[in-house]
Chains A and B, each alone.
Chain A
């Protein structure tokens, strides 16, 4: 099966991943692989920004749950941002809203992580 690269960046030791327009098997696996890479490099703060994501299919959901589990097992923290109304509804009916933290924007997510780090430093 062909592989694709997904857009990602590292800001103040927080990884930000962009699934793109359609979170399906291909993009889901790319997110999962990149996430596992980052965890192995010691990153523990991850943001997935859904600003361009119009659709998430079942396989995408399944892989995303795997990503959530991997981050939790590594004692990391995951924030989801910029979810569209329909994707938020999907997470709601699947019962995922109680399992993962959702923030309005990427900036707020970064601020939240900064706050956590600051709190840890105090």
Chain B
């Protein structure tokens, strides 16, 4: 093979290797180090460095180096006019020539000496100076040929593009992190707003302080017990918080009425589910299901609920869960027309209304969770937070066992 052809082949292989290195997933420092070695090996040079340009402060900083006593991180002083001159150069510049770098070598004499720097190749991308490649003389001390200069310019362009892309990636990563931080902040604000709404709803009713918050926590815990995860779980927790939002427009005297409601009062109160749906569906809520869960939280699986009289699986699962959580909290707290029920009695109500008001699978999940809390199998106390410790543990446990057994039998009968 002719020497010229052999050299061209070596240079082309080097450019291919460089392309592969630049597009690799290696760390930027590694890519720069490999790029420098490729440049030096292509031209048989012993020393060199790649320095990144920064306009503020105006300087070059060594990010890859080969040769004795040259350290990464070393700073190189560069003037504004020199930077502009380099950005306009499409070819390597000899440091001994009378060009736009007259003061550069003398100002950075020590480093240039250690590098035995003979030339400097600007790494430019999109007309912008990204950095420079400082090169020693060739190992055999021969002068650079026209072909050598063309190869240096080609490799320097690759390195410039790699530096430009890296800067872009760093900037994108920074922006992505900033967006993540903003998103976390907005999410927190959103959750705080929902909690504030829930507190405002509950304030209308002297007896239901903290009701929406508890319904949210019960609903979330039951949903988790049923195997729901991620956003579904989150929807249900939010629906728990906002299920009574429609009560905002219901007259306070109706909500706090200690005597049985009249028919018109009852109808007025029942409107809160559709009002809540209208409120929530009219705002650009990210989770449309929540508005519908709110609308359905007084539906019954036997079809005798309101406002639509839906049956069984026509009711969204989230709404079925909120229905049970809502009723359980209502039974476990004092109301204007009655005192709170003992836990056993509340469980009895749930048992009696399984398959009527409440969905069987939700009652079973509730029982499993309550049993785990009472037995200490799990450390969290969600369902038992309002129950306290004053209940007949063995009797409740045995009741839960029989409800679970009946539920299992019911499930088997349904599957036959």
Most central of A92, A93, A95, A98 by chain B CB within 10 Å: A93
Do the beta carbons of B6 and A59 come within 8 Å of each other? Answer: no
Number of A-B contacts (CB under 8 A): 78
One of A58, A73, A86, A89 near B38 (C-beta < 8 A): A58
Residues of chain A in range 9-60 having any CB-CB distance to chain B below 8 Å: 25, 57-60
One of A59, A68, A89 near B3 (C-beta < 8 A): A89
Do the beta carbons of B140 and A90 come within 8 Å of each other? Answer: no
**Complex formed: what's the CA distance from A89 to B295 in Å?**
83
Q: List the A side residues contacting B139 at CB < 8 Å.
A: 65, 68, 94-96, 99
- Among the stretches B41-49, B87-95, B261-269, B344-352, the one at the interface with A is B41-49
Known: A58-B10, A89-B3. A95 touches B41 (CB 8 A): no
Do the beta carbons of A89 and B6 come within 8 Å of each other? Answer: yes
Known: A66-B66, A98-B140, A99-B140. A58 touches B42 (CB 8 A): yes
Do the beta carbons of A57 and B13 come within 8 Å of each other? Answer: yes
| A95 to B, closest residue via Cβ | B140
Interface: B201 (CB within 8 A): no
Known: A58-B13, A58-B17. A96 touches B34 (CB 8 A): no
One of B3, B4, B42, B44 near A96 (C-beta < 8 A): B44
Residues of chain B in range 9-33 having any CB-CB distance to chain A below 8 Å: 10, 13-14, 17, 26, 30
Interface: B271 (CB within 8 A): no
Interface: A83 (CB within 8 A): no
Known: A66-B66, A89-B1, A96-B140. A59 touches B17 (CB 8 A): yes
A101 → chain B closest CB, angstroms: 14
Q: List the B side residues contacting A89 at CB < 8 Å.
A: 1, 3, 6
**Interface SS of chain B:** helix
Do the beta carbons of A62 and B142 come within 8 Å of each other? Answer: no
Q: List the B side residues contacting A63 at CB < 8 Å.
A: 37, 41
Interface: B335 (CB within 8 A): no
Interface: A6 (CB within 8 A): no
Interface: B290 (CB within 8 A): no
B174-200 CB contact bits vs A (8 Å, 1 = yes)? 000000000000000000000000000
Residues of chain A in range 54-92 having any CB-CB distance to chain B below 8 Å: 57-63, 65-66, 68-69, 73, 86, 89-90, 92
Q: List the A side residues contacting B138 at CB < 8 Å.
A: 95
B25 → chain A closest CB, angstroms: 12
| A56 to B, closest residue via Cβ | B41
Do the beta carbons of A59 and B140 come within 8 Å of each other? Answer: no
With A58-B38, A66-B46 known, 14 other A-B pairs at CB within 8 A are A1-B26, A57-B14, A58-B41, A62-B37, A62-B45, A65-B40, A89-B1, A89-B3, A92-B6, A93-B3, A94-B44, A95-B139, A96-B139, A98-B140
4 interchain residue pairs of minimum CB distance: A58-B41, A62-B41, A95-B140, A61-B41
The residues of B with any CB-CB pair to A shorter than 8 Å are 1, 3-4, 6-7, 10, 13-14, 17, 26, 30, 34, 36-46, 66, 68, 138-140, 142
List 17 A-B residue pairs with CB atoms under 8 Å apart, sorted by A's residue number.
A58-B13, A58-B37, A58-B39, A58-B41, A59-B37, A60-B41, A62-B66, A65-B46, A65-B139, A66-B46, A86-B1, A93-B6, A94-B10, A94-B43, A95-B138, A95-B140, A95-B142
